[in-house]
């Protein structure tokens, strides 16, 4: 006997449990026969479909009968709208062998290999006009064995392993177009998606598509905004045995039972890598959550967005996988909000029910994505603060047989130390492909509670929740090491040694990444950890933390990554890998041979404008208009340029000075450098790495740099006073 249980979003009765209230408790579905086993479940925007072994389709929810019917039904009372799973007699007297739900449409496959559809077709999802009746689709296809639906696109697989798709293809989710699109909508007729080998399984996400080849190779194409298409970092050669796609994430189950996941992770969609060491037999992705059954205990684990009870928890989301409490052995068939099948009675799991998920064919069970999870219309890129041009897409497929999957077990672990404005921006971007732990200080309480409220002119608006938030590095240390430690602390050697701060988390294989201002910031790291790879980065970015946890970024950003010639170990491989991660986050990355050349060049501006602004209280516009102040700026800048030249760096003195001043006049209107802001906040300024190090190197070459020496002394005295005041305050 087969019993179906459901939990999650249910505002339109899509769970088929007799009412329209959300539930986080597995609840028995109503209306299904007890003697007809379930072989497939699919969820749409606000509706669900269940396929039985005898070829019958049962449906529940708001949009099960089509768009116009959906509008009529939405106006009925709650009592009239209470739902159970209904046998679809209107779907003609035929035997069905597959069914898939899109956002507001449904596609069914008959036993004769023909496709039928019902619902909306504004984007040609049904390869015909919208319909309130289940009618045959005008695809011209024969011998179809399975079908999958995304938000606005449909993909079908035929008996020869060929894939065909139609609907909305703007983001490449239907592969490269055979003809140029007529307009930006890129609505496509039925077309073959050419692949290098026969395909045995298909799965659709919101705007992306996954295919599994007969040799276990996985191909992905479409939107890659959240890295849902995977990574290009080489790592694993595991063969995929099953694939599934959520709204913005993807999952691959390999032959060994390991689960590999990649994509969006702001609500824990990818799970917590330190909490899953299980082998799995079955997986299924909801719109922003995931369920899986463990191989050894048949336990159902759930993680991800849980606002409507999709993971059986009472929290809004869960990054730690939790066990769904079930009284019976279970088998996942497919789901979108948290529907899954349960095999009764207690005792041995029926072999037929278990093996149906691993039948090796797609016709028995395949997953079609929906967003019934949130019970709301899908969020557009612009609504999230992204412009469509910023969305990364791939119309050509990607092959993941020999590539690392970002997953619970293999996703790179990143520890960011000093998560202020700069640290928050780049941790946010790296979270697309890394498990991020953030060490926060003054903003700890705000970030721990609500995450970071990100507002970026380039990257859009979002709420970024690190996978873990801690006050100290020591709190983050576990048995599982970090792959990367990203240091975005202010460089204040007069206050602390960065190497001492990160030491508890450094292992022999940890790559240490520095995004810091100034010259010589690498020296304490190479001295303490000579055998660790170091990636040194210079950032050009305008960002600030307006209040704890609220980050504002203006304009664009640029990162310059280069070799640190003072390192004792070659870090080229690690540097290339980290650059790949940054690019996954849509960061602008430039690569140079010697990063210290770039550090000197940035110093020409920072060592001149920053301290003069800080000491005078003038912003850049006021400074440029003040002849006396600009004379000091030019003298200090000239001496720093001379120091760089004396140390073997090839710069043209006059060209560099003119370029720095001209650029400030053109772009830095009413700008306050970080040193000035620190002074206004009564916080220590970065004096030594911006003024002290170039001063020492100038003197080492016998140069006379009286202006640089004077401004360094003034700033050092001011810094000493600030730290003295802070010390007194802390003692109170």
Could you read off the pLDDT of 352-411 as tens digits, one per residue?
A: 222 222 222 222 222 222 223 233 322 222 222 222 222 345 555 554 432 223 333 357
Beta bridge pairs of residue 107: 100, 117
| 615, two tokens | 């000491």
74: left (phi over 0), alpha (psi -120 to 50) or beta: alpha
If we measure between CA atoms, which residue out of 322, 267, 310, 315 comes closest to residue 26? 310
Contacts of 574 (CB under 8 A, 6+ apart): 511, 533, 535
Continuous segment of H or E residues that includes residue 534: strand 534-547
Confidence at residue 326, expressed as pLDDT on a 0 to 100 scale: 64
CA–CA gap between residue 195 and residue 219 (Å, rounded):
9
Rounded mean pLDDT of 131-136?
Answer: 84
CA–CA gap between residue 52 and residue 98 (Å, rounded):
9
| Mean confidence (pLDDT) of the chain | 82
Continuous segment of H or E residues that includes residue 428: helix 421-430
| 361, two tokens | 């064919």
Domain 2-381 belongs in CATH node 2.130.10.30: yes
Rounded mean pLDDT of 304-309?
Answer: 90
Residue the block writes with tokens 């190090």: 693
The lowest-confidence range among 54-63, 422-431, 554-563 is: 54-63
Continuous segment of H or E residues that includes residue 597: helix 595-606
| Residue spans in the chain of domains classed CATH 2.130.10.30 | 2-381
Rounded mean pLDDT of 454-459?
Answer: 94
Question: What is the crossing angle of helices 706-731 and 627-646, to 10°?
Answer: 100
Confidence at residue 63, expressed as pLDDT on a 0 to 100 scale: 58
| 613, two tokens | 């602004």
SS3 447: helix
533 pLDDT exceeds 80?
Answer: yes
User: What number does CATH give the domain 607-731?
Assistant: 1.10.1040.10
| Residue spans in the chain of domains classed CATH 3.40.50.720 | 413-595
Residues in the chain: 732
Instruction: Find the largest Cα–Cα distance for the chain.
Output: 96
413-595: CATH topology: Rossmann fold (3.40.50)
| Residue spans in the chain of domains classed CATH 1.10.1040.10 | 607-731
CA–CA gap between residue 9 and residue 201 (Å, rounded):
27
Cis geometry, peptide bond prior to residue 557 (ω within 30 degrees of 0):
no
CA–CA gap between residue 222 and residue 169 (Å, rounded):
8
Q: Is the dihedral of CA 570, 572, 573, 574 positive or negative?
A: positive
Residue the block writes with tokens 């002849």: 627
Of all residues in the chain, the percent with pLDDT exceeding 70 is 81
Residue the block writes with tokens 């001295």: 527
Q: Is the dihedral of CA 550, 230, 209, 212 positive or negative?
A: negative
Residues 469 and 444 sit within 8 Å (Cβ to Cβ): yes
CA–CA gap between residue 173 and residue 195 (Å, rounded):
14
């Amino acid at each position: 006997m087969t019993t179906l249980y459901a939990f999650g979003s249910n505002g339109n009765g899509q769970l088929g449990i007799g009412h329209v209230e959300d539930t986080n408790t597995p609840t028995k579905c109503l209306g299904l026969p007890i003697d007809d086993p379930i072989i497939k479940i699919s969820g749409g925007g606000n509706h669900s479909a269940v396929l039985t072994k005898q070829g019958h389709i049962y449906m529940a929810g708001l949009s099960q009968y089509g768009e116009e019917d959906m509008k009529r039904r939405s106006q009925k009372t709650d009592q009239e709208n209470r739902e159970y799973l209904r046998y679809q007699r209107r779907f003609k007297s035929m035997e069905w062998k597959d069914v898939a739900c899109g956002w507001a449409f449904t596609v069914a496959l008959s036993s004769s290999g023909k496709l039928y559809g019902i619902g909306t077709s504004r984007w040609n999802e049904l390869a015909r006009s919208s319909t309130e009746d289940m009618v045959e689709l005008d695809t011209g296809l024969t011998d179809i064995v399975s079908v999958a639906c995304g938000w606005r696109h449909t993909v079908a697989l035929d008996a020869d392993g060929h894939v065909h798709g139609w609907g909305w293809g703007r983001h490449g989710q239907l592969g490269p177009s055979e003809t140029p699109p007529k307009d930006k909508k890129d609505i496509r007729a039925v077309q073959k998606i050419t692949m290098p080998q026969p395909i045995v399984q298909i799965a659709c996400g919101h705007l992306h598509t996954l295919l599994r080849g007969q040799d276990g190779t996985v191909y992905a194409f479409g939107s890659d905004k959240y890295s849902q298409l995977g990574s290009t970092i080489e790592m694993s050669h595991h063969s995929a045995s099953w694939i599934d796609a959520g709204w913005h994430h993807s999952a691959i189950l390999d032959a060994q039972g390991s689960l590999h996941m990649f994509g969006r992770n702001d609500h824990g969609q990818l799970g917590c890598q330190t909490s899953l060491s299980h082998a799995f037999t079955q997986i299924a992705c909801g719109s922003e959550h995931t369920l899986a059954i463990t191989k050894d205990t048949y336990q159902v684990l759930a993680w991800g967005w849980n606002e409507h009870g999709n993971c059986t928890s009472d929290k809004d989301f869960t990054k730690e996988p939790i066990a769904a409490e079930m009284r019976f052995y279970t088998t996942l068939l497919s789901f979108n909000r948290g529907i899954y099948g349960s095999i009764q009675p207690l005792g041995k799991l029926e072999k037929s029910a278990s093996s149906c998920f691993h039948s090796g064919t797609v016709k028995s069970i395949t997953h079609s994505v929906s967003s019934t999870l949130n019970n709301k219309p899908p969020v557009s890129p612009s609504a999230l603060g992204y412009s469509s041009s910023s969305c990364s897409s791939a119309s050509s497929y990607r092959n993941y047989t020999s590539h690392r999957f970002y997953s619970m077990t293999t996703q790179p672990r990143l520890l960011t130390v000093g998560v202020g404005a700069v640290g928050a921006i780049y941790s946010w971007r790296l979270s697309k492909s890394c498990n991020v732990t953030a060490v926060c200080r003054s903003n700890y309480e705000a970030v721990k509670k609500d995450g970071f409220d990100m507002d970026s002119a380039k990257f859009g608006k979002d709420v970024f929740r690190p996978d873990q938030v801690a006050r100290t590095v020591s709190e983050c240390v576990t048995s599982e090491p970090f792959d990367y430690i990203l240091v975005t602390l202010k460089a204040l050697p007069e206050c602390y040694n960065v190497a001492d701060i990160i030491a508890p988390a450094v292992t022999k294989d940890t790559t240490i990444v520095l995004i810091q201002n100034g010259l010589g910031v690498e020296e304490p790291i190479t001295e303490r950890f000579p055998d660790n790879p170091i990636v040194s980065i210079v950032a050009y970015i305008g960002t600030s933390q307006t209040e704890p946890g609220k980050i504002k970024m203006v304009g664009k950003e640029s990162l310059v990554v280069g070799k640190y010639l003072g390192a004792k170990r070659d870090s080229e491989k690690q540097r290339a890998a980290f650059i790949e991660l940054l690019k996954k986050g849509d960061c602008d990355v430039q690569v140079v041979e010697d990063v210290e050349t770039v550090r000197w060049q940035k110093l020409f501006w920072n060592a001149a404008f920053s301290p003069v602004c800080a000491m005078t209280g003038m912003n850049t516009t006021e400074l440029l208009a003040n002849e006396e102040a600009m004379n000091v700026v030019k003298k200090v800048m000239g001496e720093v340029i001379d120091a760089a030249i004396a140390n073997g760096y090839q710069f043209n003195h006059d060209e560099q000075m003119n370029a720095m001043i001209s650029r400030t006049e053109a772009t830095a209107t009413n700008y306050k450098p970080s040193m000035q802001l620190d002074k206004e906040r009564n916080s220590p300024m970065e004096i030594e790495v911006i003024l002290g190090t170039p001063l020492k190197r100038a003197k080492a070459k016998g140069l006379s740099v009286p202006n640089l020496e004077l401004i360094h002394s003034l700033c050092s005295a001011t810094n000493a006073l600030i730290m003295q005041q802070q010390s007194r305050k802390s003692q109170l």
